[in-house]
Amino acid sequence: MADDKKDYGDGEKVAVDNAPVYERGEAGVGTIQRDFVNNDDYYSLSFWGRMGFTPESFKRRSATDANRHNQLNQTMKGRHLHMIAIGGSIGAGLFVGTGSALRRGGPASLLIDYVIIGVMMFNVVFALGELALMYPVSGGFYTLVTRFVDPSWGFAMGWNYFLQWVFILPFEIVVASFTINYWSQGSISPAVFMAIFLGALILISCFGTLGYAEEEFWSSFIKLTAIVTFLIIGVVLVCGGGPAEGKYSEYWGTQYLTGDNAFKNGFKGFCSVFVTAAFAFAGTELIGIAASESKTPLQTLPSACKQVFWRVTLFYILSLLFVGLLISADDKRLIGDQAFANSQASPFVLVGKDAGLKGYDHFINAVIVISVISIGLSGVYGGSRTLTAMAEQGYAPKVFSYVDRAGRPLYSTLLILAVGFLAFAGTKPEEGQKLFDWLLSISGLAALFTWGSICLAHIRFRMAWKRQGHTLDEIPFKAAAGVVGSYIGLALSILVFIAQMYVAIWPIGGGPDGGPVNDAEGFFMSCLAFPVVVVFWIAGYIWKRPKFLTVDNIDLDSGRREIDWELHRSIEAKRAQASLPMKIYYKLF
C-alpha cells in the first residue's frame, strides 16, 4: 500500500497516520478550501439537462479543484432543509410501529423510551450540524467518522449505513402496497401497486437532489398536518368531546396511562420498545448529508437543527401521549393480521374509528402511504450518497464514484433502485416474510451505531480542535449542549444497544422452545447488524491497515468551509440587539 502523505505548503510530502488522505490547502496549515461550492457544470446545462432528461446530463461531471471534496450539487433550498429536519423521517415507525410497541411495553414505557431516544437524537443532530457546517464533504457523517475517529471504523459505518437504507427500500415498497389493502381489501394484486410505487421512486430520482428535496418538502408538510390535527383531536377526545356515537363522548382522562398496564411486561417490555423508537427516528441524520447539497447551509442548517427539538416534543412525544391515553395496550387490534404491515393496527387509525370520526381513518391511511414512500425515497438518497462517498475514498468499487453533470450519483442510485425490485418477493407473504425479516435484521441496530459514531466523531473533533490550538470562537455554529451533549448521546446509544441485546437474548414470552432464552435464529433476527458491523470493521482494518489516528494527526483543514466572518458577526450582532421576543425566536428557531 502506498504511504499516505500530505503537503504542508513547503513542497515536502510528509507521511501521516490517517487514511484516506485529506490534503491540506496549498498555502499551508490552517488554509480553508476556497471556492468549494461549484454548480457551474450544472447550470451550463439546459433546463431539461438540469432535470436529468437529456443525454448530455448523463455524462460524467468534470473534476476540478473546487469540487474535489464534493461533486454533488449545492442546490437544495432552505425550506427543503427545514422540512427534512422536522418531518423527513416520520413514517410507518411512528404511525404503525408504535402500535406493536404499545402492546409490548404499555403507554408509560412507550412515552419514556421515546423521550430517551429524543434526548439522544437532539444531541446527535446538533453534533452533526456543527460538523456538517464546518465540513461540507460528500457522504455526510460517514466521511466525518473516517476523518475524526478511524478509517476502518468509518468503513464499517459506511457499509452499515448503506445496507440499512438499501434493504429498507424494498420493504417500504411492500408496506405501501399492503397499506392499499385498507381500500382494495385484496381485490387487486399488491404487485400492481409495487410496480407503481417503484416507478414513482425511479421518476423522482431522475430529478436528483431537487427531486428528493421537493418530495420531502411536500410529504413532510402533509405528515406534519396529520400530526397537528391528531393532537387537536386528541385533546378534544380526552376531555370527552367526541361524537355521541363514539367511545370518547364522556371524559376519558388518564385511565390507560396510569393503569396496571402502564409498564406492560415490566423491564423487558420497557427495553423492547427502544428498538421501535430507534426505527421511528431513523433517517434524522440525513440532514447531515442534505447539508452538503444545500445552497446556504450557514444560514439554514443551524435553524434546521433546532427544528429537531420541536419534532421530538410536538410530533413524537405529544402524539404518543395521546395514543397512550386513548388506546389500551391490551387492544387485540394492535397485533394486526398481515405479514408485512397493517395500517388497521395503527393506533392513529384506531383512535379515529373508536371516536366515530367518519373518514379520519382513510385520511390517516393515505398519510401512512405517503410517509412510507417518503422513507423509501430517503433510502435511495441516503444510500446512494454514502456509497458514492465510499467509492471516492477507495472503500467501494470505483465505478460508484460516478457523478453525472446533473449532479446525480448515477451508478449508486441505479444499484439501490435495482435492489428495490426485491419488493416483488413480497407478493407471496408466507415466503417473502422470512426474506424481509432477515434483510431488516441488518437494519435493526444500524441506526444506533450511526448515532453513536456521530457523537464520537464530534467528541474527537473537539479534542483535536483544542489540541491543535483552535478556540470555540472559530466555530460558527456550536452544538447546543457542547461536547457534553455528545457524551450523553454516545452513552445513551450504548445503553439502548445493551437493552436491545438483553431483549434479544431473553425475549418477552420466552424462546421458541418454551424456555426463557431465545434461540440462535431469533437472536440474530434481532441483532444481525452487530456481527455485520464487526466483520466490516475487521475487513476495513485488514484491507487498509491504518495506524491509530491520534488527535494530533487529525486533519482539521482540508475541505473546511470558508466562513464569511464579517457577515456572520453582523448577523450575530443584529440578533444580540433584537427585542426580547425576537431573541427567544432566534434561540428556539
pLDDT band at 133 (very low <50, low <70, confident <90, very high): confident
Mean pLDDT of 41-48: 74
Q: How does pLDDT run across 502-553, given as a tens digit for each residue? A: 999 999 888 888 889 998 888 888 888 899 999 999 998 898 777 788 888 8
Examine the pLDDT at 235 and tell me if it is beyond 90: yes
Q: Which residues pair with 294 in a beta bridge?
A: 76
Examine the pLDDT at 437 and tell me if it is beyond 50: yes
pLDDT band at 432 (very low <50, low <70, confident <90, very high): low
User: How far is residue 207 CA from its own chain's centroid?
Assistant: 21
Examine the pLDDT at 40 and tell me if it is beyond 70: no
Distance in angstroms (rounded) separating the CA atoms of residues 493 and 13: 40
The pLDDT value given to residue 254: 87
pLDDT band at 64 (very low <50, low <70, confident <90, very high): low
pLDDT band at 20 (very low <50, low <70, confident <90, very high): very low
Q: How does pLDDT run across 187-227, given as a tens digit for each residue? A: 888 889 999 999 999 999 998 888 899 999 999 999 999 99
pLDDT band at 148 (very low <50, low <70, confident <90, very high): very high
The pLDDT value given to residue 312: 77
DSSP per-residue string spanning 465-509? HHHTT--GGG-SS--TTHHHHHHHHHHHHHHHHHHHHHHHHS-TT
Q: How does pLDDT run across 390-408, given as a tens digit for each residue? A: 898 888 999 998 988 888 8
Q: How does pLDDT run across 408-428, given as a tens digit for each residue? A: 899 999 999 999 998 888 777
Examine the pLDDT at 14 and tell me if it is beyond 50: no
Q: Which residues of 209-303 form beta strands (DSSP E)?
A: none
Q: Which residues pair with 60 in a beta bridge?
A: 404
- 76 three-state secondary structure: strand
277: which 3 cell numbers? 423508537
The pLDDT value given to residue 199: 94
